[in-house]
Structure 1
Amino acid sequence: MRSLSVTMNVTLDGVVQGLGRPDEDTRGGFRHGGWGTKFQDEVLGREMARRMSRPGDMLFGRRTWEDFIGVWAGRDDGNPFTAHLDAATKYVASTTLGSAGAWQNSILLPGDATKTVAELKAEPGNDLAIVGSAALVRSLHAAGLVDRYTLVIHPLTLGVGARLFEGPAPLTEFKLTRSVATTKGVLIAYYERA
């Protein structure tokens, strides 16, 4: 059985929208895109590279997968993240996508994500990792399918934007297994289902 890990960049007030670029996710009139870039440092890079060094498959919601294509697919820059993403099997949970042929090694999981991901987790194979895809994470968390979280907590509040959990989340306990503070005040917290 595969495990499912989620890595999510989040502000102190729970916002997960538009970490990397001003135009990354402007839904709902969000104007604070790119809020995470000034917090990059060697410690954060090393921790994220550590996570990417393990073999595993990726799981995306449609919107995040399409955004990653624009940023990562077809790059030839020697970046270890590029190599990892290109080589990984990328599962795309979507009810609207017709095909996952736009990026090598991508497989479409059509229909209800909680059902298709539960089936995927039950199969033998590499563990699964989600980076971003907050709406998908919310539904998988509610279905009890998330085994681990890595929360990359940035020291700022935005007041507006999509949050990791909007509305009530089901009671689920996790235990802190490790934490790392960066030189820029970011806290990387690793949690496993208790």
Structure 2
Amino acid sequence: MRIVVINHVTLDGVMQGPGRRDEDTRDGFTQGGWAAARGGDEAVTRAWGRRLAASSGYLMGRRTYQDVLAHWNTQDSPFRDALNNAPKYVASNTLAQPLPWPRSTLLSGDIPAAIAELKRIPGHDLHIMGSGALIQSLSPLGLIDEYLLCVHPLVLGTGHRLFTNGFAPTTLDLADAAPTATGVIIASYRPRT
């Protein structure tokens, strides 16, 4: 399986709290919901839908797992059922079995080794949404195969970024890009090997 990051980011690289105001208020972040506030973008929805329709599941860090579980299981949405039915692999050394969400597998101990083992299993892509700390730990190890980023024409000036100071230098090759009617750029990047 390949590991593919699918995330919303601003022009200044912020990935924190794109979906709702209360999504991620760490460090006093008050601009949550920045992607949703701009209104829906059908091209983004289609791009994500195409990718997630052929998914072998989700790879999440602890914080994202707990947030997605707490939010989406309270919503009357087809996304709730899709998440409940999808395999979920949770990278955490603080959570313990049994995990509360159906079809969840805990990856603990040597998490990069566990993820490298997942990559050897035949199947479709495993998708990482959110999970910035997980992405930042896997990327320098060559465990991320692709980044599908929806870059929003917005500068927040504050918030957790996808690529932080001290991030290992990485060259990415553009695999595909398309602007949307709302100014979002859907760009797919692959690490250069």
Q: TM over 0.5, yes or no?
A: yes
Which residue of the partner structure matches residue 144 of structure 1?
Answer: 142
Is the Cα contact below 8 Å between 2:56 and 2:124 reproduced in 1? yes
Deviations 1:60-111 (A, max 9, x none): 000001111022236553x2x3343222110000010012531110000012
Equivalent residue for 1:87, pick from 85, 95, 98: 85
> Structure 1: which 5+ runs fail to align?
none
Partner Cα distance (1:35, 1:186) in 2? 13
Partner Cα distance (1:83, 1:190) in 2? 27
**Matching of residue 103 in structure 1 with residue 101 in structure 2:** yes
Q: Alignment RMSD, CA only?
A: 1.7
What TM-score, normalized to structure 2? 0.91
Is the Cα contact below 8 Å between 2:55 and 2:127 reproduced in 1? no
Equivalent residue for 2:132, pick from 131, 134, 139: 134
Is the Cα contact below 8 Å between 2:60 and 2:90 reproduced in 1? yes
What TM-score, normalized to structure 1? 0.91
Which residue of the partner structure matches residue 22 of structure 2?
Answer: 23
Report the Cα offset of residue 170 of structure 1: 2.4
Which residue of the partner structure matches residue 13 of structure 1?
Answer: 12
- After superposition, the Cα gap between the structure-2 partners of 1:118 and 1:37, relative to the gap in structure 1 and judged at 3 Å, is same
> Structure 2: which 5+ runs fail to align?
none
Is the Cα contact below 8 Å between 2:54 and 2:125 reproduced in 1? no
* Percentage of pairs with the same residue: 46
Is the Cα contact below 8 Å between 1:95 and 1:112 reproduced in 2? no
Partner Cα distance (1:113, 1:13) in 2? 29
Count of aligned pairs between the two proteins:
191
- After superposition, the Cα gap between the structure-2 partners of 1:66 and 1:25, relative to the gap in structure 1 and judged at 3 Å, is same
Which residue of the partner structure matches residue 187 of structure 1?
Answer: 185
- After superposition, the Cα gap between the structure-2 partners of 1:154 and 1:29, relative to the gap in structure 1 and judged at 3 Å, is same
Which residue of the partner structure matches residue 174 of structure 1?
Answer: 172
Instruction: Look up the equivalent residue of 1:177 and give its one-letter code.
Output: A
Is the Cα contact below 8 Å between 2:2 and 2:119 reproduced in 1? yes
Which residue of the partner structure matches residue 59 of structure 2?
Answer: 59
Which residue of the partner structure matches residue 32 of structure 2?
Answer: 33
Partner Cα distance (1:179, 1:124) in 2? 27
> 2:128 is paired with a residue of what secondary structure?
strand
Partner Cα distance (1:141, 1:164) in 2? 11
Which residue of the partner structure matches residue 157 of structure 1?
Answer: 155
Report the Cα offset of residue 48 of structure 1: 1.3
Is the Cα contact below 8 Å between 1:52 and 1:84 reproduced in 2? no
Is the Cα contact below 8 Å between 1:113 and 1:136 reproduced in 2? no
